[in-house]
Amino acid sequence: GRASIRKFALALDDANPHYVDGETARQSKYGDVIAPPTFVCETWQYYRGQLDEQGGFTDRLEMPEGQPIRASNDYIFHRPLRPDDIITASWKIRDIYAKGGRSGPLLFVVVSITYTNQHGDCLAENEETLVYRLTEPANSPERHGHAQEEARS
């Protein structure tokens, strides 16, 4: 909605009138406010499941102890997010592999996330790489397989 878009833009210290000024935005080519591009990729706001004590999703693939380190995000934005969009975020694990690091073994998890609206229009794509520090030997990537998860709002 408009209020969430405005709050997100102001939290980013981005007062672009397309995001925060309804009157200016209505006169623009968009006809209404739009969200800053990365707003669509902040999927916590769409998650409806339970969170664990550390704030992680309880229904996700079991991973090593501890919080992941976000190593990278590669975004492709296809169209602006509008206040009336209903977003579906679909996750797919692309790859899981282990590597040695200075602090010990690391597990890399590459996830592709696609965001669509209620009309099936692709809003954005995100390839995210998460890194976990391993305290015990890594499980074989073959054992994990590939999984898909979906969150709807």
Whole-structure pTM value? 0.73
Q: What are phi and psi of 128, to 5 degrees?
A: -115, 135
Considering the chain, what percentage of its residues have pLDDT values greater than 90? 51
Q: How far is Cα 14 from Cα 7, in angstroms, rounded to an integer?
A: 10
Q: How far is Cα 112 from Cα 110, in angstroms, rounded to an integer?
A: 7
Per-residue pLDDT tens for 72-114? 999 999 999 999 999 988 989 999 999 988 878 888 999 999 9
By C-alpha distance, which of 90, 68, 69 is closest to 152?
90
Largest Cα–Cα distance of the chain, in whole Å? 58
Per-residue pLDDT tens for 8-20? 999 999 999 999 9
Q: Quote the pLDDT of residue 14.
A: 94
Q: Quote the pLDDT of residue 149.
A: 43
Identify the band that residue 41 occupies on the pLDDT scale cut at 50, 70 and 90. confident
Structural class in CATH, domain 63-133: alpha beta
Q: Quote the pLDDT of residue 7.
A: 92
What is the radius of gyration, based on Cα positions, of the chain?
18
**Is the predicted pLDDT of residue 136 greater than 70, yes or no?**
no
**Is the predicted pLDDT of residue 43 greater than 80, yes or no?**
no
More confident residue, 32 or 153: 32
- Are the C-beta atoms of 105 and 137 separated by less than 8 Å? yes
Return the domain boundaries, the chain.
Answer: 63-133
